[in-house]
Amino acid sequence: MTDTPSLPLPSDSREQSVLDNLLRIREQLMLLKQDRTTYVKSSDVMPLYEQVVEQVKLLNDMRAGEPHEDSKGAHRDHITGSDMLWPLTVVPPVDRVLDGCFQLLSLFFMTIGRNNEAPAAYALTSTIKRLLDHLIEVELYSEKDLAHCSHTLERLREIVKNAAGSYSPNFLTFLSNRIEACQTLLTSLQNRLARLGGDLPKIHEKLISILRSISLANTRAKFSSTEVARLQAQLKEIDAQRVDGKFVSANKEVPAGNEEICELLERCLVWSNIVLERKGVFPEAFSSKYQTLVEIRNTLEKLSLTQAWSLRETDLYDYQRQLDKIDESRVNGNFVDAEGNFAELYVQRTLLYLIRRSYGYIYYLMVSSEPVSEALLPVYNQLQTLRRCLIEVKNSGGVSSPRELYPYSMKLNSLDNMRVDGKFLVGNEIPEGQGSVIDLLSECFELNYELRIAAESEGEE
């Protein structure tokens, strides 16, 4: 398991039976995740979801009337609690396993194409929270980062709102609290950027881009001093824009936020010097952690390029748990070696960059997940490719003869003939995502028809 290898006994002995049941359910979810012999179906997932919800009801009944703070000062994340503080300072064992169950279930909902249902929102809120925590910690983020997270949170709100009547009110309140916890952090970051005046937002965006490019070059298999030196030259060009150490506007005024941007520029220059000096050589004491994070980053990067053909969303669970474990192993925010020594600045920044980058890929893979069951993905992906080809033909001037469209027409007809009573079946199952696939099929037929009519008209002329 990639979760905590051993769990302490619950502080309340009554919760032991709930913990045992959740551990059993999580094991069933893990076995289902690892089974590649067949497609995951709603009928596989929903019974396990109902079992988890039943355990949550039992847990809430046990905790009813308890204060939302344990003896160590950690606020409990009751699924019913409207005053939830999240994540926990000290996570009770039952809550930790429950989180793992909901995380897996959320990814299963994406796998079976039920992306727009409330349980699918759980995994995304976890990832967004991790990302925002890291952005706050290092104070390195761009307007694009925040805009995308804001859009996703708004979409999740709409999903939870539309789920009223379909899912437990307590569960929906729980999800809403997680979304608003993320929104609070996001608003804080947006307010910081809003303070920048004049041309500083553009300079800020450029500096963040250069800094990330330097960190990327620093973690490549083959270090390139030339590439980092080129990026450093761009930093020096920005530095040359300053007058007496300050950025000034056209009317010679110093815009708001000048000190912050100057400080960021200095951080970038220092980091570029450190990276050029170290040339990608990592200390032995932290090399194992570094190699693990590089492998996770590289794997997730490949998945982001081949997602449509190779990703089962539940695979993300293992990567996320590995990252969580490494991230949570820090002491007061610092990485430590086997002897308990704190990591130097170079190590600290490099490891944090790899963690943030990996969480970023997980976020991208989740939001890019199509609302189509994995059983229908082969058909859906073929239609996506066909659609792109037809659009490309249309944009390049169309075809000179309808005969040129025969390959596209034959492929469309072969896919359309797979339907039974208007639906795509896999065995006797009707997988989720029928509407998305049929809409895409109709769009391809329409594009093909437009191209044929245009070719026939040209022929007649």
Phi, psi of 175 (to 5 degrees): -65, -40
Q: Which of residues 249, 281, 313 is at a domain's end?
A: 281
Query: What is the pLDDT, as a whole number, of residue 281?
Result: 94
Query: What is the pLDDT, as a whole number, of residue 305?
Result: 87
- Does 394 reside within a domain? yes
Number of domains composing the chain:
2
**Torsion angle of C-alpha atoms 130, 88, 123, 135, degrees rounded to 10:** -10
Mean pLDDT, the chain, whole residue set: 89
pLDDT in tens, 220-275: 999 999 999 999 999 999 999 999 899 988 888 899 999 999 999 999 999 999 99
Query: What is the pLDDT, as a whole number, of residue 349?
Result: 95
Query: What is the pLDDT, as a whole number, of residue 5?
Result: 38
What confidence tier does 308 reach under pLDDT thresholds 50, 70, 90?
Answer: low
**How far, in Å, are 240, 332, 392 from residue 254 at the CA level?**
16, 36, 49
- Does 117 reside within a domain? no
pLDDT in tens, 391-431: 999 999 999 899 999 999 999 999 999 999 999 998 888 99
Query: What is the pLDDT, as a whole number, of residue 90?
Result: 58
Answer yes or no: is pLDDT of 76 > 50. no
- 241 lies in which domain range? 200-281
Query: What is the pLDDT, as a whole number, of residue 33?
Result: 95
Query: What is the pLDDT, as a whole number, of residue 66?
Result: 64
Distance of CA 81 to the CA centre of its chain: 26
pLDDT in tens, 134-188: 999 988 898 999 999 999 999 999 999 999 989 988 899 999 999 999 999 999 9
Query: What is the pLDDT, as a whole number, of residue 129?
Result: 96
- Does 412 reside within a domain? yes
Give the whole-angstrom CA distance, residue 294 versus residue 351: 9
- Does 398 reside within a domain? yes
pLDDT in tens, 5-59: 345 555 567 789 999 999 999 999 999 999 988 899 999 999 999 999 999 999 8
Least Cα distance to 50 among 65, 29, 71, 66 occurs for 29
Q: Which of residues 233, 262, 281 is at a domain's end?
A: 281
Answer yes or no: is pLDDT of 356 > 70. yes
Answer yes or no: is pLDDT of 389 > 70. yes
- Does 5 reside within a domain? no
- Does 449 reside within a domain? yes
Alpha helices per DSSP H over 64-168 = 93-111, 121-138, 143-162
Tell me whether the omega of the peptide bond preceding residue 87 falls within 30 degrees of 0, making it cis: yes
- Does 211 reside within a domain? yes
Judge contact between 137 and 59, C-beta under 8 A: no
Answer yes or no: is pLDDT of 112 > 50. yes
Cα of first residue to Cα of last residue in the chain, in angstroms, is: 69
- Does 23 reside within a domain? no
Answer yes or no: is pLDDT of 459 > 90. no
Give the whole-angstrom CA distance, residue 148 versus residue 154: 10
Q: What is the mean pLDDT of residues 75-91?
A: 42
Q: What is the pTM of this model?
A: 0.88
Partner residues linked to 164 by β-bridges: 167
Q: Which of residues 281, 310, 328 is at a domain's end?
A: 281
Query: What is the pLDDT, as a whole number, of residue 179?
Result: 97
The amino acid present at 283, given as its one-letter code, is P
What confidence tier does 88 reach under pLDDT thresholds 50, 70, 90?
Answer: very low
